Amino acid sequence: MERIDTLRWRKSSFSGNGGGNCVDVADDGANIYVRNSKDPGGAMVTFTQSEWRAFVSGAKNREFDLDESGRLP
């Protein structure tokens, strides 16, 4: 694992102009790291590559879309 302070963080183009409504994502070749873009020094979540692929596939398949009340169905 690389040192966390040397990771290259990427932000979604969907985060808006201020960038405050999104997460940052980085990888070290083995794991994927996700952090809150409003708190880059705060906690982060680590995923294996296979876990990340499963999540992205589910997101592309709209499995995590919110319902009308803003909740996960």
What is the per-residue pLDDT across 3-28, written as a single tens digit (0 to 9) for each? Answer: 777 899 998 777 766 656 788 999 99
Order the strands of the 10-11 sheet from edge to edge.
Answer: 10-11, 23-27, 31-36, 44-48
Give the pair of three-digit tokens for residue 60.
């592309």
Distances 72 to 14, 35, 47, 61 between C-alpha atoms, Å: 20, 20, 21, 14
Cα distance from N-terminal residue to C-terminal residue, the chain: 36
Domain boundary assignment for the chain: 4-60
pTM of the full predicted structure?
Answer: 0.79
What is the per-residue pLDDT across 13-71, written as a single tens digit (0 to 9) for each? Answer: 777 666 567 889 999 999 999 998 888 889 999 999 999 999 999 999 999 999 999 99
3-state secondary structure (DSSP) of residue 55: helix
